[in-house]
């Protein structure tokens, strides 16, 4: 049992590392395609802010949601460790396959699909918490839509020609959100206020200098550093927590701890470190798909897409919803493309991505079930 637990922890951290380079495109696709940073500079930038998420997302709400995907009595049963191991192996296989073909699928969903599929193979459909699965499935649809409409809205505001109208709209929106939204944590309120202030100060500085095309372009290149940093924090806070949930479940099943609240400090530290190191390794095939094949992105549009994605990820993490950063930023990129004109979006590429999203959970689940039967036969 102890040896299986060690294997699970190692594979979980390996998965987080793979998640980092598989999903590197989410954090840096737009900033690379707009040539604000070189690919090397971009992955270092994204890796740093992925790790910064460790100091921000301390309640581990998403990790708790993932941990509850399978009922505790099943995970803590005699086959619990084999279930977790099967789900991890399935998730790693699907992630590597989609990375090889440059398909930006969801690492979050393949992990949840693998965990659930192995549990179903071991104890039937009653072994999974359908409310948690439905929460994930609902956000497969909601995450890209929220990202898309948020980016359209931000793009429309950003492209306003009237400086004072633009500043007024941002000031009113940020003020209303800060006062009336019941944020769970104060850093969320201050983060939103900070984004608003940075945008307004940037626009004001550009305005008093004279809004030439070149100066405005340079302003958005600088702002893209800020927006990509916020998105990378959201990516780290969202994706690292899924593996934290799996490792904690394994520690409970292995008798090392009793409850989720007893998660050792080394678990989040290892997960955030692994995803940061993975991001530094890149993922250039997927970056090409995300950054150039969906639609051509300018620095202004990159800022809008990344800001929309960051807001969506922070909101979802606050709700404990295990959303896909891939789905979120894809929807945001589609949104900025559609703001120009619908034909600016390469819908053929988008439809292929949607098919990958639809297939991820069932394929991962089926693969995990097959792996479970094989491991169960081998390990007895």
The pLDDT of residue 23 is 67
pLDDT of 295 strictly over 60: no
Average pLDDT over residues 26-48: 76
The pLDDT value recorded for residue 9 is: 92
Rounded to whole angstroms, the Cα distance separating 349 from 64 reads 34
Among residues 92, 95, 119, the alpha carbon closest in space to that of 105 is found at 95
Pick the range with the lowest mean pLDDT from 59-63, 66-70, 88-92, 309-313. Answer: 59-63
CB within 8 Å of 336: residues ≥ 6 apart: 151, 152, 155, 295, 297, 301, 302, 304, 305
Count of CB atoms within 10 A of residue 198's CB? 15
Average pLDDT score over residue span 153-165: 85
pLDDT surpasses 70 at 293: no
The strand pairing partners of 128, in sequence order, are 70
User: Which of 125-139, 243-257, 314-328 is most confident?
Assistant: 243-257
* Per-residue pLDDT at 134: 81
- Residue 264, Ramachandran bin (φ over 0: left; ψ between -120 and 50: alpha; else beta): beta
Confidence of residue 104 (pLDDT cuts 50, 70, 90): low
Residue 291: which pLDDT band, with cuts at 50, 70 and 90?
very low
Mean pLDDT to the nearest integer, 135-144: 79
Q: Stretch 281-304: mean pLDDT, rounded?
A: 63
Q: What is the DSSP letter of 190?
A: H
Confidence of residue 44 (pLDDT cuts 50, 70, 90): confident
pLDDT tens per residue across span 58-68: 666 667 777 77
pLDDT of residue 294: 47
Q: Name the pLDDT band for 121 (thresholds 50, 70, 90).
A: very high
Q: Identify the three-state secondary structure at position 128.
A: strand
Instruction: Identify the band that residue 11 occupies on the pLDDT scale cut at 50, 70 and 90.
Output: very high
- pLDDT tens-place string over residues 357-374: 778 888 999 999 999 999
In the predicted structure, residue 228 carries a pLDDT above the cut 90: no
- Range in 121-130, 157-166, 237-246 the model is least confident about: 237-246
**pLDDT digits 0-9 by tens, 187-199:** 778 888 888 898 8
Return d(Cα 29, Cα 37) in angstroms, integer. 10
Residues 72 and 252: their CA atoms lie apart, in Å, by 9
Q: In the predicted model, what is the mean pLDDT of the chain?
A: 80
The per-residue pLDDT for range 203-224, each reduced to its tens digit, is 898 888 887 878 888 888 888 8
Comparing 37 with 6, the larger pLDDT belongs to 6
Whether 29 and 291 have beta carbons less than 8 Å apart is answered as yes
């Amino acid at each position: 049992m102890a040896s299986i637990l060690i294997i699970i922890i190692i594979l979980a951290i390996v998965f987080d590392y793979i998640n980092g380079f598989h999903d590197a495109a989410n954090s840096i696709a737009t900033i690379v395609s707009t040539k604000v940073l070189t690919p090397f500079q971009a992955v270092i930038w994204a890796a740093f802010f992925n790790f910064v998420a460790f100091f921000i997302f301390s309640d581990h709400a998403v990790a708790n949601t993932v941990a509850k995907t399978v009922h505790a009595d099943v995970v803590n049963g005699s086959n619990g460790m084999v279930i977790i191991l099967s789900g991890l192996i399935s998730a790693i296989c699907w992630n590597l396959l989609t990375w090889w073909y440059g398909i930006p699928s969801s690492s979050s969903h393949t992990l949840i699909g693998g965990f659930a599929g192995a549990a179903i193979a071991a104890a039937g459909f009653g072994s999974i918490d359908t409310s948690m699965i439905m929460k994930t499935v609902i956000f497969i649809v909601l995450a890209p839509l929220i990202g898309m409409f948020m980016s359209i809205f931000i793009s429309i505001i950003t492209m306003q020609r009237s400086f004072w109208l633009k500043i007024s709209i941002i000031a009113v929106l940020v003020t209303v959100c800060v006062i009336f939204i019941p944020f769970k944590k104060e850093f969320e309120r201050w983060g939103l206020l900070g984004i608003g202030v940075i945008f307004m100060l940037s626009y004001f500085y550009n305005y008093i200098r004279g809004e030439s095309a070149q100066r405005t372009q340079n302003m958005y290149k600088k702002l893209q550093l800020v927006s990509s940093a916020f998105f990378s924090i959201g990516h780290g806070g969202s994706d690292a927590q899924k593996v934290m949930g799996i490792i904690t479940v394994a520690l409970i099943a292995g008798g090392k701890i009793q409850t989720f609240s007893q998660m050792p400090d080394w678990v989040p530290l290892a997960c955030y470190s692994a995803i940061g190191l993975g991001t530094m390794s890149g993922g250039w095939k997927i970056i090409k798909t995300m950054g150039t094949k969906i639609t051509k992105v300018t620095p202004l549009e990159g800022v809008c897409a990344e800001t929309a994605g960051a807001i969506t990820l922070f909101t979802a993490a606050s709700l404990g919803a295990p959303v896909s950063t891939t789905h979120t930023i894809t929807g945001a990129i589609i949104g900025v493309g559609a703001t120009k004109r619908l034909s600016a979006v390469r819908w053929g590429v988008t439809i292929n991505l949607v098919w990958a999203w639809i297939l991820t959970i069932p394929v991962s689940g089926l693969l995990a079930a097959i792996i479970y039967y094989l491991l169960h036969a081998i390990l007895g």
